[in-house]
């Protein structure tokens, strides 16, 4: 199969998968489509407990040949599609708005190419199909279930289709490419009174506003020295317009590229809370849920891949500022060294938007990118 034929095949895969988006760990139609195709190829499929599975290609003649792993995510988002595409989602309230349909199609295209070149390749290949990237971090489940136990790869690769970059440009960087996340929750306890007697109360709403303003101001002050993002997306307080709020609740996100940075931000938040407690008489209760770690590209593997891909004629962009998005590919990198790439789609539609789409020419570039790394 030549590249023109392969491109057509990958686009067909993408359009079919785009029609049947599914959420989280419940992916019966998606998985059935993927496995039905892979069963026609010379590979071994292995199921895991959370809808994830692998396809193992023993394609090198040398029994001691190293193994490479490539990963795709499979789940979609709970959104109503507004693209108007002929192959738009057939599942109401569900849409592939983050490119996972393209990621899966690229891996199926890679599988097709590997199958045609069995016995000619210097390395064996493990393809990882993972659920729940958008929700509970399905990578963690696959690792816990032993995804690397039978076939231990020496390195792992992944990619994300990326709007904003020109079509077919590959973008990455050594070290931190995408942020890690920590989810702070702030509960403020005050005392409710009638608003006419506000001096006798303890205004939790006011204290929460002070907390947000001071945390944001500190973040701006130290940003050059301590790169991070702290923002709150949830603020609930009060029961009536004429009652001093007796409680308030904040929920947000800390994003950074180093665990020590998160610790610094958490410590500052606690100190700000203590200051406001003394000033206002309210009490603060802070908790922090650990989210995804940062995507950290192995510098040596990155330089090797960069050199190989540039020599192969790919358009390359070295990222100067890491993205503040998170990606659970980071969990695999804690087990196996590897590199994550962004692949430009040449379309301005934002990720996670109801009109998100891609230029499908990028799909063949994704296949070519991955197959170049096998040699």
Question: Using 50, 70 and 90 to split pLDDT, how confident is the model at 164?
Answer: confident
27 and 147 share one domain: yes
275 and 323 share one domain: no
CATH number of domain containing 245: 3.30.70.360
Query: Could you tell me the two tokens for 46?
Result: 């292995």
Which of 222, 256, 290 lies at the terminal end of a domain, its last residue? 290
Strand order in the sheet with 180-189: 229-237, 247-256, 180-189, 283-290
For 100-132, the pLDDT digits (tens) are 999 999 999 999 999 999 989 999 999 999 999
Which of 222, 255, 290 lies at the terminal end of a domain, its last residue? 290
CATH number of domain containing 158: 3.40.630.10
For 64-97, the pLDDT digits (tens) are 789 999 999 999 999 999 999 999 999 999 999 9
Confirm if 52 and 141 have CB atoms less than 8 A apart. Answer: yes
Mean pLDDT (whole number) for 214-236: 95
At residue 176, the pLDDT reads 94
Reported in sequence order, the residue ranges of the chain that DSSP labels E, i.e. its strands, are 44-47, 53-57, 67-73, 124-130, 155-162, 169-172, 175-178, 180-189, 229-237, 247-256, 283-290, 295-297, 315-318, 338-344
72 and 111 share one domain: yes
Q: C-alpha angle with apex 31: 51 to 342, nearest 5 degrees?
A: 85
Confirm if 56 and 44 have CB atoms less than 8 A apart. Answer: yes
Question: Using 50, 70 and 90 to split pLDDT, how confident is the model at 277?
Answer: very high
Q: How many Å apart are CA 221 and CA 354, to the nearest integer?
A: 36
21 and 153 share one domain: yes
Q: How many Å apart are CA 119 and CA 264, to the nearest integer?
A: 52
Among left, alpha and beta (phi > 0; psi -120 to 50; other), residue 66 is beta
Mean pLDDT (whole number) for 25-41: 97
Q: Which helix (H) or strand (E) holds 112?
A: helix 100-116
67 and 144 share one domain: yes
Catalytic residue positions, numbered = 73, 134
Burial class (CB in 10 A: 0-12, 13-18, 19+), 63: exposed
β-pairing verdict for 67-73 and 155-162 = parallel
Q: Which residues of 231-264 are buried (b: 16+ CB within 10 A; e: fewer)?
A: ebeeeebeeeeeebbbbbebbbbbbbbbeebbeb
Which of 290, 316, 345 lies at the terminal end of a domain, its last residue? 290
26 and 140 share one domain: yes
Confirm if 102 and 358 have CB atoms less than 8 A apart. Answer: yes
For 308-325, the pLDDT digits (tens) are 999 999 999 999 988 999
pLDDT over 80 (residue 144): yes
Supply the mean pLDDT for the chain. 96
Determine the structural domain holding residue 112 and report its residue range.
3-178+294-372
Question: Using 50, 70 and 90 to split pLDDT, how confident is the model at 224?
Answer: confident
Number of domains in the chain: 2
Query: Could you tell me the two tokens for 235?
Result: 């603020």
Q: How many Å apart are CA 358 and CA 188, to the nearest integer?
A: 44
For 226-248, the pLDDT digits (tens) are 889 999 999 999 999 999 999 99
233 and 115 share one domain: no
Question: Using 50, 70 and 90 to split pLDDT, how confident is the model at 259?
Answer: confident
Burial class (CB in 10 A: 0-12, 13-18, 19+), 140: middle
173 and 305 share one domain: yes
**Phi and psi (nearest 5°) for 151?**
-125, 95
210 and 345 share one domain: no
253 and 312 share one domain: no
At residue 291, the pLDDT reads 86
304 and 260 share one domain: no
65 and 211 share one domain: no
């Amino acid at each position: 199969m030549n590249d023109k034929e392969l491109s057509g095949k990958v686009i067909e895969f993408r359009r079919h998968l785009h029609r049947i988006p599914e959420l989280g760990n419940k992916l019966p139609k998606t998985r059935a489509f993927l496995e039905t195709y892979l069963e026609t190829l010379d590979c071994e499929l292995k199921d895991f407990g959370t809808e994830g599975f692998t396809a193992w290609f023993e394609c090198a003649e040398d029994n001691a040949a190293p193994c490479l792993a490539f990963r795709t995510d499979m789940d979609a988002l709970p959104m109503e599609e507004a693209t108007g595409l002929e192959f738009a989602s057939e599942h109401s309230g569900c849409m592939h708005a983050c490119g996972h349909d393209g990621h899966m199609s690229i891996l199926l295209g890679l599988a097709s190419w590997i199958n045609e070149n069995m016995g000619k390749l210097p390395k064996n290949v493990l393809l990882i199909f993972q659920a729940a990237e958008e929700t509970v971090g399905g990578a963690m489940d696959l690792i816990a279930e032993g995804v690397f136990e039978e076939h231990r790869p020496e390195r792992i690769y992944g990619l994300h289709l990326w709007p904003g970059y020109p079509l077919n440009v590959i973008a990455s960087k050594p070290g931190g490419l995408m942020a890690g996340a920590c989810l702070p929750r702030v509960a403020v306890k005050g005392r409710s009174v009638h608003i006419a007697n506000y001096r006798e109360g303890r205004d939790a709403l006011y204290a929460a506003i002070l907390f947000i303003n001071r945390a944001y101001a500190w973040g701006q002050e130290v940003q050059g020295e301590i790169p991070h993002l702290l923002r709150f997306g949830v603020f609930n307080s009060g029961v009536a317009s004429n009652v001093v709020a007796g409680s308030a609740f904040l929920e947000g996100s800390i994003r950074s590229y180093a665990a020590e940075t998160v610790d610094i931000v958490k410590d500052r938040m606690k100190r700000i809370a203590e200051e406001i407690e003394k000033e206002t008489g309210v009490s603060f209760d802070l908790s922090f849920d650990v989210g995804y770690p940062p995507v950290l590209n192995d510098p040596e593997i990155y330089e090797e891949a960069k050199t190989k891909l540039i020599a192969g004629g790919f358009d390359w962009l070295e990222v100067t500022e890491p993205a503040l998005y998170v990606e659970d590919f980071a969990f695999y990198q804690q087990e196996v060294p590897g590199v994550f790439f962004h692949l430009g789609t040449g379309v301005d539609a934002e990720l996670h938007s109801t009109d998100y789409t891609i230029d499908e020419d990028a799909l063949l570039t994704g296949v070519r990118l991955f197959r170049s790394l096998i040699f």
